[in-house]
């Protein structure tokens, strides 16, 4: 999987693979290849989401710190 793939690209590709597998027209080998690729894409998406979650948590922590500093000056 290319490192330059965005979350949106990976998610779109994952959706297409799932639809392809649900169609039921694949051989067992084709299904297995799609399943393996889907797992890889899903793993990539989870890692991306986890990374964003960490970044959001960091930003929220900084906001809380700023708010607590402002509270000190309000007194």
| 7 to 2, 37, 49, 55: CA distances (angstroms) | 12, 15, 8, 15
How many residues does this entry show for the chain?
75
CA 54 – CA 34 distance, rounded (Å): 30
Residue ranges of the chain with per-residue pLDDT less than 50: none
Q: Quick one: pLDDT at residue 34?
A: 96
How high is the pLDDT of residue 35? 95
pLDDT number for residue 68:
85
CA 48 to chain centre: 4
Closest C-alpha among 51, 53, 40 to residue 11: 40
pTM higher than 0.75: no
């Amino acid at each position: 999987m290319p490192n330059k793939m965005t979350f949106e690209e990976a998610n779109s590709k994952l959706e297409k693979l799932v639809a392809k597998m649900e169609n039921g027209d694949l051989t067992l080998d084709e299904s297995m290849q799609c399943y393996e690729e889907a797992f890889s894409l899903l793993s990539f998406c989870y890692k991306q989401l986890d990374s964003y979650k960490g970044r959001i948590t960091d930003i929220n922590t900084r906001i809380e710190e700023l708010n607590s500093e402002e509270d000190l000056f309000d007194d």
